[in-house]
Structure 1
Amino acid sequence: MATHSNQIPKDLVWKILAKLSVKSLKRFSCVHKSWLNLLENSDFKSIYYENLKSKTAYSSSLLLWRYFHDERSDRHIYENEVYLLSGERYENMVTLVLPNLFEEIGFDRIIDCVNGIICHYKKAGLNVKIGLWDPKTDEHKIIPPSIITNDPDFDAEVEIHGFGYDNVNDDYKVIQHICYCHNEFYQYEPSLANWQIYSLKSNCWKKLNLEMTEKGGFGEGYVTYLNGVCHWRGGDKNGKEVLVSFNLSTETFRTTLIGWQQSDDIDCLTRTLVVLNDSVALISSFDENSHIEISILGEVGVKESWVKLFTVGPFPYIWHPMVMGNKCDIIFFMGNENHELASFDVISGKVIHNISIKIDLFGTWIYKKNLLSFATGIN
Structure 2
Amino acid sequence: MKTVKAEKTTDHLPKEIMEEILCRLPVKPLSRFKCVSPSWRSLISSKQFIKTHLQRSKKIESFADQRIILTCKGKLKACSLSSLLTESVTRVDSFDFFPMNSSNDIVIVGSCNGLICILVDKCRFFLLNPSTREFKELPDFFTGAMFPKNLGSISAYGFGFDESSGDYKICAVCYSMLVFGLIVTFRRTVRVYSLKADSWGVSSLFYKHDICSYGAAKFMSGKFHWITGFLTDPKWEVVCFDLKSETFETVKQPSCMEGYKRPSLGVLEGCLCVFSDYSPNDTFDVWIWNEYGVEDSWAKYVTIPYQSVTNYVTPLFVLPSGEVLFTCGSEFFIYNKRDNCVRQQHTIDFDRDRDRDSEAELYTESVVSLVLGD
Q: Same fold (TM over 0.5)?
A: yes
Check if 1:196 corresponds to 2:191: yes
Check if 1:376 corresponds to 2:363: yes
Instruction: Identify unmatched segments of 5+ residues in structure 1.
Output: 1-54, 69-78
**RMSD of aligned residue pairs (Cα, Å):** 3.9
Say which SS state the counterpart of residue 315 (structure 1) adopts: helix
> How far apart are 1:331 and its partner, in Å?
2.9
> How far apart are 1:108 and its partner, in Å?
1.9
Say which SS state the counterpart of residue 240 (structure 1) adopts: coil
Matched residues in 1 for 2:243 and 2:94: separation?
28
Structure (1/2) with the larger helix percentage: 2
Check if 1:349 corresponds to 2:340: yes
TM-score by length of 2: 0.65
Say which SS state the counterpart of residue 245 (structure 2) adopts: coil
After superposing on structure 2, the runs of 4+ consecutive aligned residues of structure 1 that deviate more than 6 Å are: 151-154
**Aligned residues with identical type, % of pairs:** 19
**After alignment, is 162-171 or 352-361 more displaced?**
352-361
**After alignment, is 347-356 or 155-164 more displaced?**
347-356
Question: Aligned residue for 1:67?
Answer: 72
Q: Would the aligned equivalents of 1:321 and 1:330 in 2 still touch at CA under 8 Å? A: no
Amino acid at match of 1:207: V
Check if 1:253 corresponds to 2:253: no
> How far apart are 1:181 and its partner, in Å?
2.5
Question: Aligned residue for 1:233?
Answer: 227
Say which SS state the counterpart of residue 177 (structure 1) adopts: strand
Say which SS state the counterpart of residue 169 (structure 1) adopts: coil
Say which SS state the counterpart of residue 319 (structure 1) adopts: coil
Amino acid at match of 1:315: Q
- 1:82 pairs, out of 77, 81, 84, with 77
- 1:146 pairs, out of 130, 141, 145, with 141
Instruction: Identify unmatched segments of 5+ residues in structure 2.
Output: 1-59, 367-374
> How far apart are 1:284 and its partner, in Å?
1.6
Check if 1:169 corresponds to 2:165: yes
1:109/1:94 CA distance change after superposition, 3 Å: same
Matched residues in 2 for 1:140 and 1:157: separation?
24
Question: Aligned residue for 2:37?
Answer: none
> How far apart are 1:87 and its partner, in Å?
1.1
1:158/1:318 CA distance change after superposition, 3 Å: closer
Question: Aligned residue for 1:180?
Answer: 176
Say which SS state the counterpart of residue 164 (structure 1) adopts: strand
Question: Aligned residue for 1:216?
Answer: 213
User: How many residue pairs get matched?
Assistant: 296
Cα distance per residue 1:291-347 (max 9 Å; x no partner): 211101245555544322332224256333222325153334689xxx953211234
> How far apart are 1:95 and its partner, in Å?
1.4
Check if 1:58 corresponds to 2:63: yes
Matched residues in 2 for 1:340 and 1:153: separation?
35
TM-score by length of 1: 0.64
Matched residues in 2 for 1:316 and 1:378: separation?
33
> How far apart are 1:225 and its partner, in Å?
1.6
